[in-house]
Structure 1
Amino acid sequence: MNPLGQLVVLFLVAVIAVPLFKRAGLGALLGYIAAGMLIGPHGIGVVGDVDNMLHISEFGVVLLMFVIGLELQFSRLRALRKPIFGLGSLQVLTAMLIIGGLVVLTGRDIALAIVLGCGLALSSTAFVLQLLAEKKELATGHGRLAFTILLFQDMAAVPMLAFIPFLVSGDAEEATNWTEILLGIGQVAVTFAIIVIAGRYLLRHALRFIHATRVREVSIAAALLVVTGTAYLMESVGLSMALGAFVAGVLLADSEFRHQLEADIEPFKGLLLGLFFISVGMTLNLGAVLADPLILIAGAAGLMLIKALLIAAIGHWGGKLGGISALRLGLLLSQGGEFGFVIFSLATQLALIDRTLHEQLIAVVTISMVLTPLALTVFERIVARLGGEEKPPFDTIEDGRTGAVIAGFGRFGQISGRLLRSLNVPFTALDVNPDQVDVVRRFGNKVHYGDASQLDVLRAARVGEAKVFILAIDDIDASLRTVNLVRKYFPDVRILARARNRRHAHMLMDAGVRWLVRETYHSALLMAEEMLVSLGRERDEAQDLVKLFQETDQRNLARQHEKGLHHDAAKILQSSRDAAEELTRLFEEDQEERREG
Structure 2
Amino acid sequence: MFDHILLNIVFLLVITVGLVSISRRFHLPPILNYILVGIIVGPFGFGLIESEKSISFLAEFGIVFLLFSIGLEFSLTQMMSMRKMVFGYGGLQVLLTGAFVYFSCQMFGLDIETSIVVASAFALSSTAIVIKQLTEQSEIQTRHGRAAVGVLIFQDLMAIPLLILIPALGTASGDSLSSELGLAFLKGGIVVVVMLFAGRYLLRPLFHEVASSKSQELFTLTVLTVVLSAAAFTEEMDISMTLGAFLAGMMLGETEYRHQIEADIRPFQDILLGLFFITVGMMISPAVLQSDFFIIIAITLGIMLIKGIVIFGILKTFKKPEGVSIRTAVSLAQVGEFGLVLITLALSYELLSDELGQILLTSAVISMMITPLLVKFNGRIANRLCRQSYQNNFSEMENVIKEDTKFLSEHVVLLGFGRVGQTTAKFLEQAHVPFVALDMDIKRVHEAQQSGEPVYFGDSAKHSIIKATNLSKAKVAIITFHNYHAAIKTLKTLKDVAPELPILVRTQDDSHINEFMAAGATEVVPDTFESSIMLASHLLLMIGQPPSQVLRQTRAARKGRYSLLNGMYPGESDHTPFDNAQIGQVIQPIRINDSAFAVGKRLEELPFSELSINIKSVKRGSVRGDDPDVRTRIRAEDVLIVQGLPENIDKFEYYLNTGK
TM-score scaled by length of structure 2: 0.61
Q: Distance in 1 between matches of 2:326 and 2:436?
A: 23
Q: Does 1:243 align with 2:246?
A: yes
| 1:103 aligned partner | 105
Q: Distance in 2 between matches of 1:375 and 1:500?
A: 30
1:435-489 CA distance string (max 9 Å, x none):
x23467699986752589889889xxxxxxxxxxxx98638999xx9xxxxxxxx
Residues 381, 171 of structure 1: CA spacing in aligned structure 2 closer, same or farther, 3 A cutoff?
A: closer
| 1:575 aligned partner | 570
Q: Does 1:364 align with 2:360?
A: yes
| 2:500 aligned partner | none
AA aligned to 1:17 is L
| 2:282 aligned partner | 282
Q: Distance in 2 between matches of 1:310 and 1:179?
A: 32
Q: Distance in 2 between matches of 1:409 and 1:270?
A: 34
1:394-452 CA distance string (max 9 Å, x none):
3979x9xxxxx996531134469999xxxxxxxx9975333x23467699986752589
Q: Distance in 1 between matches of 2:142 and 2:335?
A: 15
Q: Distance in 2 between matches of 1:199 and 1:442?
A: 38
Q: Does 1:409 align with 2:417?
A: yes
- Please give the residue correspondences for 1:261-410 in structure 2 after superposition, counting only pairs within 5 Å: 261-314=261-314, 318=318, 322=324, 325-333=327-335, 337-342=339-344, 344-345=346-347, 348=350, 353=352, 355=353, 358-374=354-370, 376-377=372-373, 380=376, 393=394, 394=397, 409-410=417-418
Secondary structure of 2:48 counterpart: coil
| 1:168 aligned partner | 173
Q: Does 1:207 align with 2:203?
A: no
Secondary structure of 1:409 counterpart: coil
AA aligned to 1:305 is L
CA contact (8 A) 1:312 1:326 kept: yes
Q: Distance in 2 between matches of 1:68 and 1:440?
A: 30
| 1:45 aligned partner | 47
CA contact (8 A) 1:500 1:519 kept: yes
Q: Distance in 2 between matches of 1:8 and 1:144?
A: 41
1:177-222 CA distance string (max 9 Å, x none):
756643442232122221233344432332232xx24xx4444334
What is the deviation of 1:93? 1.2
Residues 369, 219 of structure 1: CA spacing in aligned structure 2 closer, same or farther, 3 A cutoff?
A: same
Q: Distance in 2 between matches of 1:187 and 1:455?
A: 57
1:140-162 CA distance string (max 9 Å, x none):
65555444434433432443454
Q: Does 1:36 align with 2:38?
A: yes
The RMSD of aligned alpha carbons is 5.6
Residues 98, 201 of structure 1: CA spacing in aligned structure 2 closer, same or farther, 3 A cutoff?
A: same
Q: Does 1:186 align with 2:213?
A: no
Residues 141, 528 of structure 1: CA spacing in aligned structure 2 closer, same or farther, 3 A cutoff?
A: same
1:306-356 CA distance string (max 9 Å, x none):
22333344456557662552243134457882233245326625xxx5x3x
Secondary structure of 1:322 counterpart: helix
| 1:82 aligned partner | 84
Q: Among residues 172, 196, 217, which one is paired with 2:200 in the alignment? A: 196
Q: Distance in 1 between matches of 2:650 and 2:425?
A: 43
| 1:433 aligned partner | 439
AA aligned to 2:311 is I
Residue identity (%): 27
Larger Rg: 2
Name structure 1 gaps, 5 residues minimum: 400-404, 420-427, 459-470, 482-497, 502-516, 554-565
Residues 359, 185 of structure 1: CA spacing in aligned structure 2 closer, same or farther, 3 A cutoff?
A: same
Q: Distance in 2 between matches of 1:235 and 1:442?
A: 48
Q: Among residues 151, 155, 158, which one is paired with 2:157 in the alignment? A: 155
Q: Distance in 2 between matches of 1:289 and 1:342?
A: 18
Name structure 2 gaps, 5 residues minimum: 405-411, 428-433, 471-476, 481-486, 495-503, 508-524, 557-562, 580-644
Q: Distance in 2 between matches of 1:445 and 1:232?
A: 52
CA contact (8 A) 1:431 1:451 kept: no
Q: Distance in 2 between matches of 1:54 and 1:290?
A: 26
What is the deviation of 1:293? 3.0
TM-score scaled by length of structure 1: 0.67
Q: Distance in 2 between matches of 1:7 and 1:522?
A: 44
Q: Which has the higher helix share?
A: 1
Q: Distance in 2 between matches of 1:270 and 1:103?
A: 34
CA contact (8 A) 2:541 2:547 kept: no
| 1:532 aligned partner | 540
1:94-120 CA distance string (max 9 Å, x none):
112111212223344545433432333
Q: Does 1:56 align with 2:91?
A: no
